[in-house]
């Protein structure tokens, strides 16, 4: 895949993907600003979020043309999200308020597979109906990955990737991560093989700052961590996952990690970081680039 993108196998290729588009209006504002400054290359959009609907219903999507679908099956304690699928109630996925459950360890073993498929497809279809041409699929909060109980919904996601000719964010180097056990390693290896058989493109690696450092996180400390992470980037295609946002009251209500999200927004605008990427000869690409290669291969 690197050669098709015009790079060599030794090149370090980076997707800078802003997760959680739609989670708050401040997040949307930050991500759109980062696109305007070419500080990110992709985003992942949460279709069930009210702030997503607000943007898509305006019909102005020119600034989010490089958006994948952040497949969402869970709420948080401070933000209840409702399914996009409306034809029937998805009994195994929602509580008495018709909101997704918050506990992924409960969702994994109890979700009905047919209902999972209906909801995930509905999220993709809704985005397309509003003019989004999705670039990829990935998982919000790991809700389809099976990291809690070992029951994942990845084959459903891969079915949808195949149907809509989309790559999937499952990095191959997950197989060497110390946080997974042997059973998880076997399962992810099987899912990676399944994707390859279907012609679904994957990336090599994924990196991110620790999601929730501290309410007292300091910009210079986080910046130093960020610089080290970029300097240690391995060859191949890596996604740098970020959660940038402008701090708003909604964000404060939603997460105690709002300081870190604002720091990530500032970091991506930092001239030192932009110069570091050039100095390290990091090649920037988007999920759209990978999707277009997958579709080209599928047409041959």
pLDDT band of residue 137 (cuts 50, 70, 90) is: very high
> CA–CA separation, 35 vs 30, rounded Å?
9
Average pLDDT score, the chain? 94
Closest to 159 (Cα-Cα) out of 210, 197, 207, 103:
197
Any residues with CB less than 8 A from the CB of 184 and at least 6 apart, and which? 146, 147, 150
User: Looking at residue 3, what is its pLDDT?
Assistant: 54
Residue located via tokens 């099987």: 190
> CA–CA separation, 237 vs 112, rounded Å?
34
pLDDT band of residue 1 (cuts 50, 70, 90) is: low
Name the DSSP class of 180. Answer: S
* pTM for the model: 0.96
Backbone φ and ψ for 162, nearest 5 degrees, come out as -65, -45
User: Looking at residue 58, what is its pLDDT?
Assistant: 78
pLDDT band of residue 2 (cuts 50, 70, 90) is: low
Closest to 243 (Cα-Cα) out of 99, 31, 11, 39:
31
Residue located via tokens 């990978």: 290
Residue pLDDT, tens place only, 77-103: 899 999 999 999 999 999 999 999 999
Q: Minimum mean pLDDT among 152-156, 214-218, 248-252: which range? A: 214-218
| Torsion on CA atoms 143, 132, 79, 259, rounded to nearest 10 | 90
12-299 is classed in which CATH architecture? Alpha-Beta Barrel (3.20)
Any residues with CB less than 8 A from the CB of 67 and at least 6 apart, and which? 21, 42, 43, 44, 45, 61, 127, 132, 134, 135
Backbone φ and ψ for 258, nearest 5 degrees, come out as -70, -30
User: Looking at residue 74, what is its pLDDT?
Assistant: 98
> CA–CA separation, 70 vs 33, rounded Å?
20
> CA–CA separation, 28 vs 52, rounded Å?
8
> CA–CA separation, 20 vs 166, rounded Å?
19
User: Looking at residue 229, what is its pLDDT?
Assistant: 97
User: Looking at residue 4, what is its pLDDT?
Assistant: 67
User: Looking at residue 51, what is its pLDDT?
Assistant: 94
Residue pLDDT, tens place only, 249-261: 999 999 988 999 9
**Helix count and strand count (H, E) for the chain:** 11, 7
In 119-159, beta strands by DSSP E: 137-139
Q: CA 100, 101, 103, 109 torsion: positive or negative?
A: negative
Q: Tell me the CB-side half-sphere exposure of residue 79, using CA atoms within 13 A.
A: 22
Q: Is the pLDDT of residue 299 over 90?
A: no
> CA–CA separation, 28 vs 36, rounded Å?
12
Both tokens of residue 121? Answer: 């497809």
Segments making up each domain of the chain, as ranges: 12-299
């Amino acid at each position: 895949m690197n050669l098709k993108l015009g790079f060599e196998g030794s090149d370090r290729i980076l997707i800078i993907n802003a997760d959680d588009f739609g989670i708050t209006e401040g997040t949307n504002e930050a991500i759109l600003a980062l696109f305007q400054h070419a500080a990110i290359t992709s985003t992942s959009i949460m279709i069930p979020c009210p702030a997503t609907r607000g943007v898509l219903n305006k019909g102005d999507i020119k600034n989010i043309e490089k958006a994948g679908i952040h497949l969402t099956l869970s709420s948080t304690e401070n933000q209840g999200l409702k399914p996009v699928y409306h034809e029937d109630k998805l009994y195994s996925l929602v509580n008495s308020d018709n909101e997704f459950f918050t506990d992924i360890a409960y969702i994994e073993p109890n979700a009905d597979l047919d209902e999972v498929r209906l909801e995930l497809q509905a999220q993709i279809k809704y985005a397309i109906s509003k003019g989004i041409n999705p670039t990829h699929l990935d998982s919000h909060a790991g809700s389809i990955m099976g990291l809690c109980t070992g029951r994942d919904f990845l084959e459903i996601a891969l079915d949808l990737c195949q149907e809509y000719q989309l790559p999937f964010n499952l990095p191959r180097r997950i197989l060497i991560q110390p946080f997974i056990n042997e059973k998880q390693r076997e399962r992810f290896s099987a899912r990676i093989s399944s994707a390859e058989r279907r012609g679904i493109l994957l990336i090599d690696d994924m990196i991110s700052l620790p999601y929730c450092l501290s309410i007292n996180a300091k910009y210079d400390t986080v910046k130093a961590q960020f610089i080290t992470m970029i300097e240690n980037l391995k060859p191949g295609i890596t996604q740098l996952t970020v959660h940038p946002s402008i701090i708003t009251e909604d964000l404060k209500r939603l997460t105690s990690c709002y300081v870190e999200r604002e720091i990530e927004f500032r970091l991506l605008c930092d001239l030192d970081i932009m110069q570091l990427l050039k100095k390290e000869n990091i090649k920037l690409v988007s999920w759209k680039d990978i999707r277009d290669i997958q579709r080209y291969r599928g047409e041959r």
